Amino acid sequence: PALAHFSDFTEMMRALGYPRLISMENFHTPNFMLVSEVLLWLVKRYEPQTDIPPDVETEQDRVFFIKAVAQFMATKAHIKLNTKKLYQADGYAVKELLKVTSVLYGAMNTKGVERAGVSEEDSSKFKFDLGSKIADLKAARQLASEITSKGASLYDLLGKEVELREARTESIARPLEINEAEKMMKIAIDCVLEQVQKTKDMLSNVALDEANLEAKIEKRKLELERSQKRLQTLQSVRPAFMDEYEKIEEQLQKQYSSYLEKFRNLTYMEQLLDDHRRTEQEMFEEAASMLRLTQNRLKEEEQHLLKSGNNDSDVEIQEDEGSDSEVEDRQIMKQHTTMETLLQG
């Protein structure tokens, strides 16, 4: 039975016009690429406008492809496919593929596609195009609506035919007057001549406008050439003040270099002045601190002398009153001289 199914499948595929030859050896092992190719070809044969992604590289893509094909066949052709057997891609998948091929093969036989006057290529390229049928259905509906509207208008015109027939026969029976026809022809000829004259006037106006535009273009071209020549002369001629300008530029460069030198010297002198003031300030502070130290030392010596003088006896004071006063006067003079020298220093 499996061989019979397989032979029926190969014969149907060959009759439907599948471009490749299919053998039993292709399905000894799972061959998902061939199964997917056959399924996609059958779906395209059933409806060419279908948009099923042909990607079958990954496992997820293959599952999505099988589901999409099964859903399409279930909704469009009412064919229930076993997705597990299709995914196996072996001999069991041939039975599922045979369901679709048998439907297409039966439709091809019932529609009489294989006619005597059709060549082998045309018979092999049978197309069961449902999308084109839908387009034909829309066109048929549009034509039906147009037929009804035209029929209604024709019915109205046929209703007026009784009145129009009398007017038509009367106008046909009336003799044709040559004078009136000649007059009408002259009026038509005059209208045509007037239109021709207007057209000629417009053409002449266009020619005049074209001539004016050409003259303006030539004038602009001449002005452009003169301007370019003037620009070239101005670029080539050296201005009269250029020599003076270069001399002044050289002097300015020298003045700038001297200015830079003086500026550097000035900053250097200001730095030296600041250093000198800083050293003077430090020396002044040091002298003031030395002065304070000497003052404190003198005060301590005076207090020490006063304490030692009070400790002496009264007798010594009476005897040496004159001599002590002289010694004190000398000490005071020494202190004053030391203070003056310190202040001067």
Q: DSSP for 140-163, please give it.
A: HHHHHHHHHHHHHHHHHHHHTHHH
Q: How many Å apart are CA 101 and CA 10, to the nearest integer?
A: 10
Find, among 131, 125, 46, the residue nearest to 81 by Cα: 46
Q: What is the pLDDT of residue 120?
A: 47
Q: Exposure of 39 by Cβ count < 10 A (0-12 exposed, 13-18 middle, 19+ buried)? A: buried
Whether 153 contacts 129, CB under 8 Å:
no
Q: What is the pLDDT of residue 326?
A: 53
Q: How many Å apart are CA 34 and CA 73, to the nearest integer?
A: 19
pTM tops 0.85, yes or no: no
Q: What is the pLDDT of residue 5?
A: 62
Q: What is the pLDDT of residue 307?
A: 87
What's the CA angle centered on 338, arms 333 and 343, to 5 degrees? 125
What's the CA angle centered on 128, arms 127 and 129, to 5 degrees? 95
As given in the structure block, the two tokens for residue 55 are 């990607």
Q: What is the pLDDT of residue 126?
A: 45
Whether 8 contacts 98, CB under 8 Å:
yes
Q: How many Å apart are CA 345 and CA 197, to the nearest integer?
A: 128
**Model confidence over 179-206: pLDDT tens digits?**
887 888 999 999 999 999 999 888 888 8
Tell me how far CA of residue 79 lies from CA of 16, 44, 74, 99, in angstroms. Answer: 18, 16, 5, 7
DSSP letter for 18, please. -
Contacts of residue 30, defined as CB under 8 A and 6 or more positions apart, other chains included, come to: 88, 89, 90
Tell me how far CA of residue 70 lies from CA of 10, 40, 47, 48, 64, in angstroms. Answer: 21, 11, 14, 16, 10
As a dihedral over the C-alpha atoms of residue 236, residue 241, residue 244, residue 248, rounded to 10 degrees, the angle is: -100
Q: How many Å apart are CA 32 and CA 53, to the nearest integer?
A: 15
Q: Tell me if the domain spanning 1-110 has CATH number 1.10.418.
A: yes
pLDDT averaged per 10 residues in sequence order, the chain, 345 residues:
64 81 76 84 82 81 85 82 81 81 80 48 48 76 90 88 84 77 89 92 87 92 94 82 89 95 95 94 93 92 85 50 51 54 49
Q: How many Å apart are CA 324 and CA 316, to the nearest integer?
A: 10
As given in the structure block, the two tokens for residue 6 are 């397989």
Q: What is the pLDDT of residue 112?
A: 54
Q: What is the pLDDT of residue 125?
A: 47
Q: DSSP for 230-268, please give it.
A: HHHHHHHSPPTTHHHHHHHHHHHHHHHHHHHHHHHHHHH
Residue 179 Ramachandran class (φ > 0 left, ψ -120 to 50 alpha, else beta): alpha
Whether 62 contacts 40, CB under 8 Å:
no
User: In the chain, what are the domain boundaries?
Assistant: 1-110, 175-243, 259-300
